[in-house]
Amino acid sequence: MGALILQQTINALTVGSIYALIALGYTMVYGVLRLINFAHSELFTAGAFIGLALAGALGVAGHPTGGLLVGFITFVIIGLAGVSVEIVAYRPLRGTSRLAPMLSALGMAVVIQNAVMLIGGRRPLIYPSFLPSGVIDVFGAIITYKQITIFLVAVILMVALELFVNRTNLGVRIRAVAENAETASLVGINPNMAISLIFFIGPGLGAVAGILYSSFYGVATFTMGFVIGMKAFTAAILGGIGSIPGAVLGGFLLGFIETFATAWMPVLTGGLIGTEYRDIFAFSVLVLILLFRPAGLLGEHVSEETIVYKSDF
């Protein structure tokens, strides 16, 4: 029993790491623009496909050291793609009703998904692993080097993001724009630059998550971003959308809920509910959170500007 619990804990940390990385992109954009960037999940997919193309072009497919170079280049490419999406699809609609940017985001998601399909093809692609091979036996639980690498990479990126946002000048500018863009502009901060930086970092992290995900499971499909993106969105809401610590917490919590429910539900129901229902557990969490605690566990990050807006009614 102890080995089983430890094994599922390791599995949950692995899945949760990927959810958390993607959730950060959702929560960063929402924290600044109060916008759900539905195109984010498709940039996650695009990151996996671009990583695969780069691996072939550079001749580093299957080499962990080459994965660092591929991850960095993919981060930059998808980051620039994220900035382009903001400039083309969201910036012209800034200041309009919230419905227009949301519809634009959905449209961009469809465009990106179809672009990936046309370039990468409809069929699932075998994905070379950039993660080291090997296993460790810990009290009967099997921990792979792949799982350890995914967790460490995710933690390093999360800590780096937290330090960047809270300890650097650019981070201060981002937080100022998130609090009140108009006031920030009065003190010499360019809101567009801060917003572009958010759209560079968030999709970049999602692209790295795409490479890690595909390397771990060994496959990439042009539709994989939809379900994974919805789960990451659930994680962002679970922790408190707009909050970076909340996105991290929500990602790992959702990983634990999904993993342990998938492992134990078939046993508890006598096989009536099998592992094929694992997606239901994640989306059930979304429904419950929206019903009973829509602000999330750590609370939604609300700026002074939003509070004033709400107090007018």
- Per-residue model confidence as pLDDT tens digits over 274-287: 667 778 878 888 88
DSSP string, 102-161: HHHHHHHHHHHHHHHHHHH-SS-EE----SPP-EEEETTEEEEHHHHHHHHHHHHHHHHH
Among 51-60, 128-137, 295-304, the minimum mean pLDDT is found in 295-304
- CB atoms under 10 Å from CB of 232, counted, come to 31
Best CA proximity match to 109, nearest among 231, 240, 230: 230
Q: What is the pLDDT of residues 73-102, one digit of tens each?
A: 999 999 999 999 999 999 999 878 888 988
**How far is the C-alpha of 108 from the C-alpha of 41, rounded, in Å?**
11
Tokens coding 297: 């566990």
Architecture of domain 2-312: Orthogonal Bundle (1.10)
* CA distance readout (Å), 192 to 108, 123, 154, 182: 20, 39, 28, 11
Task: Please tell me which residue, 201 or 182, carries the higher pLDDT value.
Answer: 201
**How far is the C-alpha of 101 from the C-alpha of 140, rounded, in Å?**
50
**How far is the C-alpha of 282 from the C-alpha of 230, rounded, in Å?**
9
For 131-236, where are the E strands, in sequence order? 135-138, 141-144, 219-220
Tokens 């990983």 belong to: 255
**How far is the C-alpha of 45 from the C-alpha of 267, rounded, in Å?**
34
Asked if 156 and 71 touch (Cβ cutoff 8 Å), the reply is: no
What are the domain boundaries of the chain? 2-312
Asked if 44 and 22 touch (Cβ cutoff 8 Å), the reply is: yes
Q: What is the pLDDT of residues 201-255, one digit of tens each?
A: 999 999 999 999 999 999 999 999 999 999 999 999 999 988 899 999 999 999 9
* CA distance readout (Å), 203 to 59, 120, 218, 299: 25, 19, 22, 23
Asked if 28 and 191 touch (Cβ cutoff 8 Å), the reply is: no
Chain-wide mean pLDDT for the chain? Answer: 89
pTM of the model: 0.91
Dihedral sign computed on CA atoms, order 61, 63, 68, 71: positive
